[in-house]
Homo-oligomer: A and B are copies of this chain.
């Protein structure tokens, strides 16, 4: 049996500064965030989710969103595309004022998770997203469909619920769509099933996948998605991440693990894996962040290679 045809190259967006940092309870000083972001921006990635314009009451870690964005723009504007998560119109106003390239509006396909995450029904979030779309101007809008495969409260999520959010986002003028396995319970068979429905309806629209690695299935799910031609993925350096409002959600697929597998399979990522590892080392040693990537635990990661990574 031949392996399914794979993309020649994939795009990996670095989301550690948003999805990773938000999972850290103790406030990471702004200058530490900026140092890590600078390191990650220089690894060859083309886009980064830099921060989140959310209520500091909901996520105190992101209270310095405007400052972090300002620092990012000084060095990386025009070199690395910036994106910021927004949960609502107020977030959009903050993001637009910061001059971010893309806003990332999150709507859960599952009502239960959307209520827990945003205190809104799905329809209310869609209405809010439409307001954001109306005032985005030249700033791009990505809509992320959270719990696109499973919900921590309601279990498996019917593809129809995902399609509905995607339809409304595209109608509203969204420039990109992400589907998120928020809690990481999707398995490769389930991912293939839902993504096949998506492919059938939207052809080769360039969706992005956001795969959490809670149960260790993120890379297997990535392979399943690539087999269907999906070529855009979120990942977080060091495997950091988690959703404070999704019980059981753990870290993202680690950027270095994802890039390593892709490159091993002959799929270009543009990412300098050793540079990512170097930043991850610093995140751990200098800033005390808890790392969970496989590559960071290998001899290659620790000692710079002993011929063990063929």
Contacts and interface: CB of A to CB of B under 8 A. Distances in A.
Interface in A291-310: 293-295, 297-300, 306-310
A261 B216 contact: yes
A159 interface: no
A153 B306 CA distance: 9
For the complex of A and B, the 4 pairs showing the least CB-CB separation, nearest first, are A248-B308, A216-B294, A155-B310, A220-B220
A65 to B, nearest CB: 28
Given A154-B310, A214-B294, 15 more contacts: A1-B192, A1-B227, A3-B192, A6-B189, A152-B306, A152-B310, A153-B307, A188-B220, A189-B265, A190-B264, A215-B294, A216-B216, A217-B219, A248-B308, A248-B309
A234 interface: no
A218 to B, nearest CB: 8
Given A214-B294, A294-B216, A189 B3 contact: yes
Contact of A247 (B219, B294, B308): B308
Contacts of A227: 1
Q: How large is the interface on A (under 10, 10 to 19, 20 to 34, 35 or more residues)?
A: 35 or more
Interface in A146-170: 150-156
A84 interface: no
Best-surrounded residue of A155, A298, A308, A309 (most CB of chain B within 10 A)? A308
Contacts of A156: 310
Contact of A217 (B154, B188, B196, B261): B261
Nearest to A295: B215
Best-surrounded residue of A152, A222, A264, A295 (most CB of chain B within 10 A)? A264
Contact of A185 (B220, B248, B308): B308
Given A153-B307, A219-B219, A219-B220, A250 B3 contact: no
Contacts of A215: 257, 260-261, 264, 294-295, 298, 309
A12 interface: no
Contacts of A92: none
A48 to B, nearest CB: 22
A240 to B, nearest CB: 14
B223 A188 contact: yes
Contacts of A56: none
Contacts of A309: 185, 215, 248
Contact of A248 (B214, B249, B298): B298
Contacts of A192: 1-3
A266 interface: yes
A3 to B, nearest CB: 5
A3 B220 CA distance: 13
A10 to B, nearest CB: 14
